[in-house]
Amino acid sequence: MQADLILFWVFAPISVASAIAMLVMRNAVHSALFLIVNFFCLALFYLILGATFLFAVQIIVYAGAIMVLFLFVIMLLGVDGREDLRERRLIAQRPVAIALGVAFVLEVTFAIRASIGFSALAPAGFDKVNEGGNAQALAKVLFSKYFFPFEVTSILLIIAAIAAMILAQRKSHAVTQAEMEAHNAAMEPVAPEPVA
């Protein structure tokens, strides 16, 4: 048994358990923290698979930036811990969803067994692909073959930033007459109580 197999069997149960914990937690902050655990496990799997650059990006972008953004919004909205979990709209929505999820896993498992088999090891020679380091090799591919998509993603990020600013800005709506009167009534000085 080699180190990567041990690492896999240690962190695969942790990643599944943290994903399930994220699902069943009532408090959104706890869910977010379990999702961070899950992202760290996935980063380790990238490391096992020889994708060292994606390992770093996973931790920096996902566990760092994206989850901080999530926690920021959860705390900004001040969502209270309790969530009403009664099923109101669809009958038996939860059992059907779980059954479909299990069916999906079984289907994919059978498909994998039919196509590549459970014991197919990765071919040797990935070191040659990663020549000069994973980041350098990835950069060579990214800035030659995928240069145009790379530039398009930069435009996408700018559009997303602008869209977020437009969506989140407070709209300066015109004040209606009724609102104005309500405001004036609230502001009217109250006559001081006569001192007994």
Partner 1 sequence: MSTPISYFLVLSSILFAIGSVGVLTRKNALIIFMSVELQLNAVNLTLVAFSRMHNSLNGQVLAFFSMVVAAAEVVVGLAIIVSVYRRIRSVNVDDAEALRG
- Give the footprint of partner 1 on residues 32-51 (CB under 8 A): 32, 35, 38-39, 42, 45-46, 48-51
Please, what is the minimum distance in Å from the beta carbon of residue 91 to partner 1? 13
Footprint on residues 85-144 left by partner 1 (CB under 8 A): 85, 88-89, 93-94, 97-98, 100-102, 104-105, 108-109, 112-113, 116-123, 125-126, 128-129, 134, 137-138, 141-142
Footprint on residues 157-176 left by partner 1 (CB under 8 A): 157, 159-161, 163-164, 167-168, 170
16 binds partner 1 (CB under 8 A): yes
- Alpha carbon 65 to its chain centroid, in Å, reads 10
Tell which one of 14, 37, 57, 59 touches partner 1 (CB under 8 A): 57
Instruction: Pull the structure tokens for residue 57.
Output: 């990006």
| Closer residue to partner 1 in complex, CB, 159/181 | 159
20 binds partner 1 (CB under 8 A): yes
68 binds partner 1 (CB under 8 A): no
| Closer residue to partner 1 in complex, CB, 144/177 | 144
Footprint on residues 173-192 left by partner 1 (CB under 8 A): none
